[in-house]
Structure 1
Amino acid sequence: MSLALPRPLELHRQGLFWLLHLGGWGGYFALGYLQAVAHGKPAGYWMVPFTAAATGAVATLGLRMLLRRCWDMPPARLLALVMAAVLACSVVIDTITRGVLVGFCETCAPINHVSRLAYSLNYIYVVLAWAGLYTGIKLYRQLQDETKRVLAARGMAHQAQLKMLRYQLNPHFLFNTLNAISTLVLDRDNATANRMVQGLSSFLRHSLDSDPMQRVTLRQELDALTLYLDIEKVRFAERLRIETEIDEKCWRALLPSLLLQPLVENAIKYAVAKRVEGGLLRIEASRNGAQLVLRVIDDGPGCEALGNGGLQPGNGVGLRNTRERLQVLYGERASVAVRNRRPGIEVTLQLPLETASGISE
């Protein structure tokens, strides 16, 4: 079952059909007329090729209606039906054209049924060419439409996957933040509690309003990350120390929104929250040829699950989320690497370096 085409596209295709149809039969008439002139035919002989072209144009319109109506039939039945229709069209064209031709050539009239049958095949090659061209164009259009539908479905699936990954806010973060606010309220530290509520509101508003399909500059990403870190600073105060080292050439680099947030959240969870003395969180951005290199580093106890090849797939929701987002967007052009630093863990992201003004050289 074929899907209905949008009206502008259908009108465009109808216009293209009539252009090719009338242009093709017009060209057939012009060729026949030039042959008549070349063979010294009488002045009025142009009626013969004109009649053939006009009759052919009308007859093949009927063939077109038949093809459109029976297009979904099994190929063998469709082929048999088309061949019968092509023969019928050839008979109609020859019968009408020969009636005009006899006025210029009396010997051209068929003398028996055998000659009539032979004459009726004169135009079969023209109608076959028309049917072959029409079928080829129709199959090509169907292939194009199917390709577009597949690409659209794949794009929608990628968008859904990215949105799912993007909206997976860690419930531990919300729980811990709300618990910290509750503690501040019980301690009657209303000013700090209010500041923390405002910070949480700003971060959640930014997180939910930002389009997961839209890429942002590194500066915008760090501004959004600051909203999150402001909340954590209220929770951990001086226990959370933050350092950044950003290459000046990377500020306008594009990356998926809130890409670094789950990595920073992991670092705080394991390197800061579980230690009385807190810890250091360092964010770096640099350029390596045509790659943007991002690093999130902490000075925590490290991870025993890390092997020689890095963190195995499936360990860590934040890391898995980040890896899948980069895989969907960039494929093999992006990578995620995790290693122990002793002390701490370093998470390195590499992705194609593109800027707000276009792809960098």
Structure 2
Amino acid sequence: MRVAIMSRRHTRLPSRIVTLLRQCQGLIDVGTARAVGISPDYLSRLARAQLLIRLAEGVYASAETVRELDDWALHELTARAFLFSCSPDAFLTGWSAAAVWGLPTLGPPPAKPTAVRPKQAGRGSKTGAHGIVHTAEIPSHHQQRLIRTRLVSRAWTAATIALTASVGAALVVADAAVRTGGDLPDAIQHMSGWPGVTRARWVATYADPLSESPIETLGRFASIVGGLPTPVSNAWVGDGQPEFRVDGLWPYHHAASEGDGASKYNNRPDAAGIVFKQNEREWRLRRLGLDIARYGFSLAAFRQRELISRFAQLLRDNPPRSEPVRWWKHVPGVGPVEPEPADWPSPHPTGIVLPPGWWRDRR
């Protein structure tokens, strides 16, 4: 019976392979396959039939699934596959860990997955056909596991990305990491002397757990790059009580920024209703005395100078007043609370100095 099955020409994946792929989060390694009675030769035959595709040494995925993945989803799958071929003490790191964690990513993925393992005599960094392995000491509390995958913590992930990524892209990842409780300074203290650690420290200093999306992060970062006053992220405003949250608020200028994600409207049957509610919301915000600058992701990510100019004009048109607009700080899981003195932003440019070459990206 086994010989007959092996010799049959398959035109689609056998049901037991489909089931195993589902149980193993899209990947079959030869060790797992052997444990359930599937030989490596059988997997090779399915690969030659172009039903499976080998993503790393001894690790396969559905060819049909791979063809349907976007660049980052493919990198996530390939990174998990690569880790199967690494030593048991290796962990995914950098952008590869970010993809598995589901942290937000800007730009294309790196050409190859990256892992890290402890330093040992006679064992250094290496680049292979399926990925790159670096050596470094990773504290145990930054060694984690997710969907059968060993990877560094979100904080360590964001810190290592900040070593080489453009500061804007790194800040997007860092905001997401600290929003889930990641401690970037704790990770970075173990990176003393590493190339790029100054950039990483800058990113850790200015990461904001109140920023909830890449477009919000990029809007705040534009204010920093432009030497403008820094807005409060996701502040509540209202007539005597908190009613609405705005993406960025300059309380003393009575001004706010609002980032519009395209997914809010694209291909949605309720798009007209969303636009109506947005217009009603903006009318209420303006009745509260707020002037508003709206912007989209394309402007924030690819036309930063234009966005800076828009914000600068907004603040020029609304110079600081002695009486700020009434606002409340947003605390995740709690809601609006009275701001503490340390929560108030300066109405004046902060003079934040960016790290040298902050725009360069060496992923």
TM over 0.5: same fold?
A: no
Range of TM-score over shorter length: under 0.3
| Bigger share in helix | 1
TM-score, scaled relative to structure 2: 0.20
The structure with the larger Rg is 1
